[in-house]
Amino acid sequence: MTVPAARAEHARAVMIELFPEGFEEIDRSDGVELAAYTDSAGEERLWAAFGGARSDEVGEGWEDRWRAFHRPVRIGPLWVGPPWEAPDAGSIPVLIDPGRAFGTGGHGTTRLCLELLLDLPRGGFLDVGCGSGVLSIAAAKLGFDPVVAVDVDVQAVEATTRNADANGVRVDARLADALTDDLPAVEAAVVNVALDLDRAIGERIDCARLVTSGYLAAETPSLPGYRRERRREADGWAADLHIRTK
């Protein structure tokens, strides 16, 4: 499916919702081509969201194409990438096998959250919507303790636990709904979900510093009880650091 460049950011956001396990993006002369490896049900979701899509049979070698999509990234001292890639010498490696959970560090919102995380005072850490656990594991490697990760998706909790074990760090991964379940008091928290959830979840978290993301650069969350300290933007996405004022 190819969308005009002007619609690319919105289309990416929709694709993340439809295919959190990942999708391909290729620049074309007439716009941006977005592709997902899926079944007939996924094809129906594409049609419903975009009003049309082209489907092709997947040929041999699709496993290698899937792996090629997940490339390592470097954020300060952190090297974040899949286990089939070799970490940079002297870096802090965060090895993430996404499985069926979203996030290997390559998406703009994840990178932005990691950039803001680097400078935060160490202490307890809460990751809401942990996905594959990349933010939680990076926090643990940076010295945050204890680290709690929550998600409403059991596959995300399993992926976070598996990846934490592979990285040799302790992460308390829990199946929980941040809108209704109790959340621990921490020094810092990250909510990388969606704009409409950031405010509701942010109001329930007892933390000194809150990083929010999961929304476009044109959008700005309003969080009662916090002041916005800093903003980072990349690839049309944004992340904000908020400091609690009361």
Q: Measure the CA–CA gap between 198 and 158, rounded to whole angstroms.
A: 24
Q: Which pLDDT tens digit goes with each residue over 90-139? A: 999 999 886 544 556 667 889 999 999 999 999 999 999 998 899 999 99
Choose among 192, 193, 199: nearest CA to 221. 199
The mean pLDDT value for 56-63 works out to 60
Return the structure tokens found at 92. 């802090």
Report residue 61's pLDDT band, with 50, 70 and 90 as the boundaries.
low
Please state which CATH class domain 70-244 belongs to.
Answer: alpha beta
* Domain boundaries of the chain, sorted by first residue: 2-65, 70-244
Model's pTM, two decimal places?
0.75
Instruction: State the pLDDT at residue 101.
Output: 46
Q: Measure the CA–CA gap between 130 and 136, rounded to whole angstroms.
A: 7
Q: Measure the CA–CA gap between 97 and 146, rounded to whole angstroms.
A: 22
